[in-house]
Amino acid sequence: MPRPVVPSRVGVVTTRRPFVDATLINDELDLLLLRMRWLAPHVDHFYVAESAETYTGHLKPMHLSENLDMFEEFAGQLTVITYGGSADRVEWKREEIARDSLRQAVAELDPRTIVYFSDLDELPSETQIRAMKVIDTPHSVPLDTFYRRANWRLECESPISVARATPVSTLPANFTSFRWPEGEASFPDLAGERGGHFSYLGFTADRLASKLAAFSHSEFVFAKDAADHLLTVSDALVLDHFGRSRLPGGGLLTVLASPEWSDLHRWLYARRPEWFDERRPPNAIWRRINAAAIDDAMREQHLGRLERVGGPSVLREPATKRVIRSQLGPFKRRLLRQPR
């Protein structure tokens, strides 16, 4: 790839460092197009890897390769990397192959090139993008996580620091361990306003079921049969559809009102207003009860319990007693323990 040149303020032509984006795709073509349009003012080239298999080994269409006409505006800037599957039945092994295909593609670039490496739904802020362009070592790119609506924040993953930026000269040997370092290994956080990890935006029940059946967390595959009910309850109560009630936020999503939105939020809203919802969530105790019930069902992989959330029968779940006791003061908890 040729090195672009830009004029300096004093009229001297200088060589700037190339900047590329590297990501993976399953079938989220609309999200990829938005990602590319957001990054296009800064990125010289896009590398996108896809396969004819999901991480769970199921055959699927080559969605991007078969729909390149959607990306005509980026002709000459987009390289699609295709990779094979694995005889290994472990989902994480297939994901490692996917990430390694991206590493191989960018490893031959100019050593000064900056690579932004992340999942498709992880978008950096503009200030983070500017900060990336001058780094000399690998950095984490901290993002806030938003579930199903672009302004519904998931507290247990905000910030999340798994997106990375690095010069090719300091490219790690393995992109999987780069994303999830082992032991005490870590990278400094990039400066700037936090970007967004926008997950499950605009998902229908069918898409949620498909996602649950395709991604690396195979322990959630059982939930695909209750996807419609799970999505309906989680949207109505503004909940994390995986439960996670024992983590920060208690499984409740935080609704950000428009005055709290970042520049990235406002850019997205101008293009996808249907991805935003500023509703005021219902009663917090009822939300916590259902978040805890979803959490229990997910942990136990219990389809029947998952199908009971959101209705009166959830009040008979052990999670309900646990939540109610947690809301009582120490004096009332002592009274409950008194023999009758």
Instruction: Tell me if 258 is assigned to some domain.
Output: no
Q: With respect to residue 71, please indicate whether it lies within any of the assigned structural domains.
A: yes
> What number of other Cβ atoms are within 10 A of residue 148's Cβ?
23
The reported pLDDT for the residue numbered 91 is 60
Q: How far apart are CA 159 and CA 260, in angstroms?
A: 16
Judge whether 273 lies within some domain: no
Q: Which amino acid is at 155?
A: E
105's enclosing H/E stretch is helix 91-106
Amino acid at 180: W
Last residue of a domain, one of 164, 199, 234: 199
Name the residue range of residue 249's domain.
Answer: 205-253+279-330
Nearest to 319 by CA among 301, 305, 331, 332: 305
Q: Which residues pair with 6 in a beta bridge?
A: 14
Closest CA to 165 of 110, 113, 111, 104: 113
In the predicted model, what is the mean pLDDT of residues 29-44? Answer: 95
Give the rounded percent of residues in the chain with a pLDDT score beyond 90.
Answer: 52
Do both 217 and 161 map to the same domain? no
Q: C-alpha angle with apex 56: 50 to 60, nearest 5 degrees?
A: 45
Per-residue pLDDT reduced to its tens digit, 286-330: 999 999 999 998 898 888 888 999 999 888 888 888 888 776 655
Task: Give the pLDDT band of residue 190 (cuts 50, 70, 90).
Answer: very high
Number of domains in the chain: 2
Kindly state whether residues 70 and 153 are assigned to the same domain.
Answer: yes
User: Which of residues 199, 222, 243 is at a domain's end?
Assistant: 199
Question: For the segment 140-188, what is each residue's pLDDT rounded down to a tens digit?
Answer: 999 999 999 999 999 999 999 999 999 999 998 887 778 877 655 688 9
Q: Are residues 162 and 49 in the same domain?
A: yes
Q: Which residue has the tokens 């009274």?
A: 335
Whether 335 has a pLDDT exceeding 70, the answer reads no
Do residues 145 and 49 both lie within one domain? Answer: yes
Strand partners, 82: 50
Q: Is the backbone of residue 119 left (phi > 0), alpha (psi -120 to 50) or beta?
A: beta
CA pair distance 266, 260, nearest whole angstrom = 10
- Domain assignment of residue 216, yes or no: yes
Residues 86 and 104 in one domain: yes
The answer to whether residues 214 and 296 belong to one domain is yes
Q: What is the dihedral of CA 164, 167, 170, 175, to 10 degrees?
A: 40
Tokens 């005509």 correspond to what residue?
Answer: 72
Q: Are residues 191 and 216 in the same domain?
A: no
CATH number at residue 38: 3.90.550.10
Same domain, 231 and 133: no
Quote the mean pLDDT of the chain: 84
Q: Are 165 and 244 part of one and the same domain?
A: no
Task: Grade residue 332 by pLDDT with cuts at 50, 70 and 90.
Answer: very low
Inside any domain, residue 236: yes
130 and 209 assigned to the same domain: no
143 and 217 part of one domain: no
| Dihedral over Cα of 120, 122, 125, 130: its sign | negative
235 and 190 fall within a common domain:
no
Phi first, then psi: what are they for 282, rounded to 5°? -75, -170
